[in-house]
Amino acid sequence: MAPSGLPAVSSIETSCTVLFHTEKASAVQQEEIMRDLENPDVKYKIRALKQTIMLLLSGENLPRVLMSVIRFCSSTNDHLLKKLLMLYWEVVPKYDGTSKKLLSEMILVCNALRNDLNHPNEYVRGSMLRFLCKLREPDLLEPLIPSIKACLEHRHSYVRKNAALAILNIHRHVSSDLVPDAPELMQQFIQTETDSGARRNAFLFLCSEAELLAIQFLTEHLDEVPRYGDGFALLVLELTRKVCRKDPAQKARFVRALFNLLQSDSAAVSYEAAWTLVSLSSAPTAVRAAASTYAQLLNSQSDHNVKLIVLERLASLKQGHTRVVQENLMDVLRALGSPNLDICRKTLEVAMDLVSPRNIEEVVAVLKREVLRTQEGEQEKATVYRSMLIQAIHTCAARFPEVADAVVHVLMDFLSGDGALDVIVFVRSIIEQYPAFRPSILNKLLQSFAYIQGNTVLGVAVWILGEYAMEPTLRKEAFDCLLANAGQPPYLPKSTPAIKEGVGEGGREGGNAPGQQLVSKSVVLADGTYATQVAMVPVPGGTGSGKLGAEEKSSPAFRRALLEGDVFLGGLLVSSLTKLTVQALETAGPLDPECKEMQAKTLLVACGVGRMAEVKAQGNVGAYADVLERITVCARVLLDPDSLSLVKDTLLTKCKVSYAAFLKFKQEEAAKSDKARQGGKAGGLSAFPDALINFRQLRHFGVQTGDFDLYDGEDIQRATGAGAVKDEVGDWSKRLAHVYQLSGLADPVYAEAYVTVHDYDIVLEILVINRTKATLTNLTVELATMGDLKLIERPQSHTIGPQDQRIIRANIKVSSTETGHIFGTIVYENSSTAEKGTVNLNDIQMDIMDYIRPASCSDEAFRAMWAEFEWENKVAINTTFLDLQAFLTHVVSSTNMECLTPTSSLSGESAFLAANLYAKSVFGEDALVNLSVEKKDDADGRLSGYVRIRSKTQGIALSLGDRITAIQRVGDVQEEIAA
């Protein structure tokens, strides 16, 4: 609330910035209020005083009520009425509107305030002292100074505490001449004060108004600071930062106090002390003490937000002091016991950067223990946490090969439970990167193969056995293990009918297949017309449904997967058996009996899987046909020596080479993402060579008060978005792209706006030019918004002379990524004709690209979000781009998205391209895009296809779809310009 009664400002503006709608206070209303105030019943006085306060807040003037309040309410002992009186004294006009002098009635008010300051009840005194902190009228406060000083010696600490606070506010905000001896008075007061609150307020006065006296008191009582309370300790830390920023030579005077406060029982004090110590000194001793304090807070506090804040501090601390923070790594890892996944994720991120050869064994032991703990208890989201742990172990094994062997064997015990896919993928990468570990890992995999349950996990395990079981003994064991778990063909449930001889495609000849029925339904075609679609669907429980019997359900998991119709797993089985057989033929020769036996068994399995694929396909083409073709190639390799010589190198060598290249690509991508996340800093640099340096000696004397940080200028630039593109080429062109013309050149007032978007804030700088020869008064830019935009600061009214101009600023807050509109009008008055004019402004449409930032995520996370998000926008491709890669590059650059599909998979000549794009908004919203485009030979090589957009909210899906639709036609404009 603004202070009331100032002479230079109108009563409406000084009372309150919000005007309440009330009826005009007539003389009758004043009479009623005065009558209630004179009533001896306190209830009537309270009601009348409430009405008076509301009328004053709404801008009404009630001069006759003031004397009634002084006569009939100032001497009351009712607590509620006293509180209302304090509100009334705060809002009532205290100065004469014409002479600008203090009202004569204020003498009586001052006497009433003095009576409360001398009241025998300590709580009445204390509440009055707190009220005096809000007054800003020196004429009213001057007679009360002796009573306020007398309260400093009151027997009750509540009065003394508020008296010290009142003197502070009078000395700081009103005038230091009212209490010229305040510093000496507070120095004497703090020496004898025993109450922690009163001592804290007195020290606050010394820190703010008499810094040298505060330093002197702190030096004399340095050892007693921990006993003075948390509030006093926080003031000491604030004083330390303030003094040391102005004079770094003073650091030595506060070091001992900082180290003492690190051991405080208060979490807030120890946290602030650690932050202050690190900000003032980069010595290893100081950093070590701060890191130890952070680690202690991390394990002692139960609040999840506190833990995340401490982890952020540790993450920033390790960037410049990695070796020192490594000493507290094991204490940091204790935070993994938290049930919150965000805390565990952040802890692992911090810990992985601190792993070194000295602590790798201890770190891996902790991670293995945590993996075991996820199996024992019913921890919330244990699968996600286990995946994070496995990824962390994978990182450790990749950096330190000496622990990879022991880690892999422990993780392979989890191949039969949740998270088995992460484990088997980790095993696959380790077995490729470290050939020395292959025999032991393969033996462990053979022992665990029968207990693996998931089909995807089984597929990866089968591929590993086929690729890396090259030694004769391991090859024989792998071949026997695969056959034993797959069983003998056929791989069809007993309830599945046999395929008739001479049946056409799909196993049908004229009529329906057993267990199937014809189903017709209406569908909507692409042109909007209706059609009838007929399809064959299996009958639940029918003779062709292929249900497993009791004996088949008890078979190994691998065979059950084949019997349930997993054609892809069957294709992997045939391919791996073929690789093992080809390796045996290379080693022992084609005449070896054992090799001939392996050939026969592999061909038998190939026939069984091929027959399963034919039954499963039922007339379908595509993936099933691909599996059948693959099985056919394997059979030809085993039967035809010429075919074997053609594809032998592909089977035995090129698969490993391709997988090794894939791992290398993933490592490079991870390195790039880490570099981007760290902002391109190399070697833990905390500042760039061209970073701005603030010289303390060259700053203006007015900012040498400690209230302005050395780096405040940089922080302000970062907060407002200024200087973000300072050194980039085309800075002016980028600025001009954000300039919007709001009115026409023929309008009496020309306006254009420069829009600055910085995360959640939009700043409008509106240039207004008076094109007339008359002075325009009360010129106001009235703005309104549509969408999730909120106008925070409305522009003020201005007076603009002839041919003059003004820059008017407005702030808008953004809450989501939805497309928003800003529109409005300019209202003004012509000073010469007194006519009012209005200029309608053009709309400003906010671009979604201002909120979208490229981001990356794993393929598993992309698929999980794609299945979870419910809002989808499907955009048809209609462009003149003729090159697939050029179109993809154009979409990626125009939408600020990151292409998740590896570059290697997009290279080569092809008529089809599919890619996944990902971005994240500044509000944390995920944007998923799948681009599927095909080059049509029958349409002059034009591109066709769809761009599918998915997000959790509707706004980002629609806005991003509109953006993609708009940028598709850019190619037309470019071609016309080139022509």
3-state secondary structure 557-615: HHHHHHHCCCHHHHHHHHHHHHHHHHHHHHHHCCCCHHHHHHHHHHHHHHHHHHHHHHH
Domain that holds residue 900: 850-978
- On whether both 480 and 611 belong to a single domain, the answer is yes
Q: How high is the pLDDT of residue 706? A: 37
Could you give the percent of the chain with pLDDT greater than 70? 81
Whether 943 maps to a domain, the answer reads yes
Question: Token pair of 413, please?
Answer: 């015990």
What confidence tens digit (pLDDT) does each residue in 811-837 have? 888 776 666 788 899 999 888 887 888
- On whether both 470 and 484 belong to a single domain, the answer is yes
Domain ends where: 635, 655, 673?
Answer: 673
**843-859 mean pLDDT:** 79
C-beta separation of 515 from 545 below 8 A: yes
Whether 770 maps to a domain, the answer reads yes
Q: What is the CATH number of the domain that holds 921?
A: 3.30.310.10
Return the H-helix or E-strand segment holding 916. strand 912-921
Whether 325 maps to a domain, the answer reads no
Higher pLDDT, 533 or 768: 768
3-state secondary structure of 875: strand
Report residue 810: phi and psi, to 5°.
-145, 140
- On whether both 860 and 924 belong to a single domain, the answer is yes
What confidence tens digit (pLDDT) does each residue in 912-930 have? 888 999 998 877 788 999 9
Q: How high is the pLDDT of residue 786? A: 81
Q: Which residues contact 32 (CB under 8 A, 6 or more apart)?
A: 48
What confidence tens digit (pLDDT) does each residue in 6-61 have? 333 333 344 444 445 555 445 557 788 888 888 888 888 888 888 888 888 877 78
- On whether both 839 and 884 belong to a single domain, the answer is no
Q: How high is the pLDDT of residue 463? A: 92
What confidence tens digit (pLDDT) does each residue in 755-767 have? 887 767 788 889 9
| 797 secondary structure, DSSP code | P
Outline where DSSP puts E strands in 815-889. 821-830, 836-840, 844-845, 852-854, 871-876
**353-362 mean pLDDT:** 87
Q: How high is the pLDDT of residue 930? A: 92
**307-315 mean pLDDT:** 90
Q: What is the CATH number of the domain that holds 787?
A: 2.60.40.1480
Residue 161, pLDDT above cutoff 80? yes
**947-953 mean pLDDT:** 89
**165-180 mean pLDDT:** 88
**468-495 mean pLDDT:** 85
Burial annotation 684-716 (CB, 10 A radius, 16+ → b, else e): eeeeeeeeeeeeeeeeeeeeeebeeeeeeeeee
Q: How high is the pLDDT of residue 752? A: 92
Q: How high is the pLDDT of residue 929? A: 93
Higher pLDDT, 96 or 947: 947
Residue 193 — pLDDT band, cuts 50, 70, 90?
A: confident
- On whether both 894 and 821 belong to a single domain, the answer is no
**410-428 mean pLDDT:** 80
Q: How far apart are CA 240 and CA 250, in angstroms?
A: 9
Higher pLDDT, 780 or 712: 780
Q: Which segment of 287-291, 626-630, 709-713, 854-858 scores lowest on mean pLDDT? A: 709-713
Q: How high is the pLDDT of residue 56? A: 85
Residue 692 — pLDDT band, cuts 50, 70, 90?
A: low
Residue 680, pLDDT above cutoff 50? no
What confidence tens digit (pLDDT) does each residue in 792-802 have? 777 888 888 88
- On whether both 839 and 854 belong to a single domain, the answer is no
Residue 681, pLDDT above cutoff 50? no
Residue 234, pLDDT above cutoff 50? yes
- On whether both 486 and 597 belong to a single domain, the answer is yes
**252-274 mean pLDDT:** 85
- On whether both 817 and 863 belong to a single domain, the answer is no
Residue 750 — pLDDT band, cuts 50, 70, 90?
A: very high
- On whether both 754 and 820 belong to a single domain, the answer is yes
Question: What is the full DSSP assignment across 356-416?
Answer: -TTTHHHHHHHHHHHHHHHHHS--TTHHHHHHHHHHHHHHHHHH-GGGHHHHHHHHGGGTT
Domain ends where: 846, 865, 882?
Answer: 846
Higher pLDDT, 677 or 776: 776
Q: How high is the pLDDT of residue 226? A: 79
C-beta separation of 917 from 896 below 8 A: no
In a 13 Å sphere around the CA of 397, the CA atoms on its Cβ side amount to: 28
Q: How high is the pLDDT of residue 613? A: 82
Q: How high is the pLDDT of residue 462? A: 92
Q: How high is the pLDDT of residue 695? A: 56
Residue 509, pLDDT above cutoff 60? no
In a 13 Å sphere around the CA of 175, the CA atoms on its Cβ side amount to: 10
Q: How high is the pLDDT of residue 10? A: 37
Q: How far apart are CA 190 and CA 206, in angstroms?
A: 10
- On whether both 801 and 863 belong to a single domain, the answer is no
- On whether both 786 and 869 belong to a single domain, the answer is no
Chain mean pLDDT for the chain: 79
Helix axes 122-132, 79-91, angle to 10 degrees: 20
Q: How many helices (H) and strands (E) does the chain have?
A: 42, 18
Q: How high is the pLDDT of residue 732? A: 60
Whether 782 maps to a domain, the answer reads yes
Distance of CA 317 to the CA centre of its chain: 21
In the numeric block, the tokens 């599945």 are attached to 496
Q: How high is the pLDDT of residue 369? A: 86
How many structural domains is the chain composed of?
Answer: 4
Count other C-beta atoms under 10 Å from residue 641's C-beta. Answer: 10
3-state secondary structure of 256: helix
Whether 307 maps to a domain, the answer reads no
C-beta separation of 435 from 470 below 8 A: no
Domain ends where: 826, 846, 866?
Answer: 846
- On whether both 620 and 562 belong to a single domain, the answer is yes
What confidence tens digit (pLDDT) does each residue in 62-116 have? 888 888 888 888 888 888 888 888 888 888 888 877 777 888 888 888 888 888 8
Q: Distance of CA 888 to CAs 185, 619, 626, 929, 932, Å?
A: 75, 35, 28, 12, 10
Model confidence, pTM: 0.60
Residue 705 — pLDDT band, cuts 50, 70, 90?
A: very low
In the numeric block, the tokens 């292409």 are attached to 899
Question: What is the full DSSP assignment across 483-551?
Answer: HHHH-SSP-S-TTSPPPPTT--TTS-SSSPPTTEEEEEEEEE-TTS-EEEEEEEEEPTTSTTS----HH
